[in-house]
Chains A and B, each alone.
Chain A
Amino acid sequence: MGNKNAKPSPYDYDLVTIGGGSGGVRASRLAAADGKKVAIIELPFDPVSSESTGGFGGTCVIRGCVPKKLFVYGSHFHEEFEDAEGFGWNIHTPPKFNWQHLMAQKTKEITRLNGIYAKMLNNAGAEIFEGRGKLIDAHTVEVTDAAGHKTLLKTANTCIATGGYAFKLPIPGAELGITSDEALTLPDLPRKVCIIGGGYIAVEFAGIFNGLGAEVHLVFRQELPLRGFDEDVRAAVNENLIKRGIIVHPKCNPKSLAEASAGTITVETDSGQLTVNTVMFATGRKPNISRPDLGLSEVGVELDHGAIKVDAFSRTNVNGVWAIGDVTNRVNLTPVALMEGAAMMASAMKGRMTKPDYQYIPSAVFCQPPVASCGLSEQEAVSNGHTCDVYLASFR
Chain B
Amino acid sequence: MAETAADTPMGHGYEFDLVVIGGGSGGLACSKEAAKLGAKVACLDFVTPSPQGNVWGLGGTCVNVGCIPKKLMHNAGILGESFSDAREFGWKVNNEGHDWAKMVEQIQNYIGSLNWGYRVALRDNNVEYINAKGAFEDAHTIVCTKKNGKTRTITADKVVIAVGGRPKYLGVEGDKECCITSDDVFSLPKAPGKTLCVGASYISLETAGLLSALGYEVSVLVRSVFLRGFDSEMAEKIVGHMESHGVRMIRSSVPTKFEKDGDKTKVTIKNSDFGNEIVEEYDTVVIAVGRDPCTGDLGLEKAGVVPHKSGKFEAKDEQTNVPNIYAVGDVLEQRQELTPVAIQAGQLLARRLYAGATASMDYDLVPTTVFTPLEYGCVGMSEELAAETYGADNTEAYISFFKPLEWQLNHEEHNGVPVRGDNSCYLKLITNTADSERVVGLHYLGPNAGEVVQGYAVAMKCGATKAQFDTTVGIHPTVSEEFTILSVTKRSGVDAQKKGC
Contacts and interface: CB of A to CB of B under 8 A. Distances in A.
B93 A364 contact: no
A73 B89 contact: yes
B93 A81 contact: yes
B2 interface: no
B496 to A, nearest CB: 16
Contact of A87 (B97, B106, B476, B499): B106
Given A80-B82, A105-B409, A335-B476, A87 B91 contact: no
A166 B88 CA distance: 29
B79 A70 contact: no
A116 interface: yes
B94 interface: yes
Contacts, number: 132
A170 interface: no
B501 A87 contact: no
B476 A61 contact: no
Contacts of B499: 116
A167 interface: no
Interface string A356-379: 010011111000000010000000
B102 A88 contact: yes
Nearest to B406: A73
Nearest to A77: B86
Contacts of B75: 83, 87
Greatest chain A CB density within 10 A among B75, B472, B476, B481 is at B476
Given A91-B96, A334-B476, A335-B474, A97 B79 contact: no
B473 interface: yes
Interface residues of A, number: 50
A286 to B, nearest CB: 21
B473 A113 contact: no
Nearest to A60: B476
A86 to B, nearest CB: 6
A98 B92 contact: yes
Interface in A7-60: 57, 60
A116 B501 contact: yes
Contacts of B86: 77, 80-81, 95
Given A86-B106, A87-B103, A65 B79 contact: no
Nearest to B106: A86
Interface of B: 72, 75-76, 79-80, 82-83, 85-86, 88-103, 106, 405-406, 408-409, 471-478, 481, 484, 499-501
A89 B79 contact: yes
A277 to B, nearest CB: 19
A90 B97 contact: yes
A243 interface: no
Contacts of B408: 70, 109
Contacts of A96: 91-92
B90 A93 contact: no
A385 to B, nearest CB: 24
Contacts of A116: 499-501
Nearest to A90: B96
Contacts of B474: 335, 362
A89 B95 contact: yes
A284 interface: no
Contacts of B471: 357
Contacts of B405: 66, 69-70, 73
Contact of A88 (B82, B88, B93, B103): B103
21 contacts: A61-B501, A70-B409, A77-B86, A77-B89, A80-B82, A81-B86, A88-B102, A89-B79, A90-B99, A91-B93, A91-B96, A93-B94, A95-B91, A98-B90, A109-B409, A113-B500, A333-B473, A334-B476, A335-B474, A335-B484, A362-B473
A77 B106 CA distance: 21
> Which 5 A-B pairs rank lowest in CB-CB distance, beginning with the nearest?
A88-B103, A116-B500, A101-B90, A87-B76, A102-B90
Contact of A364 (B101, B406, B475, B484): B475
Nearest to A73: B406
Interface in A81-123: 81, 83-84, 86-93, 95-102, 105-106, 109, 113, 116-117, 119-120
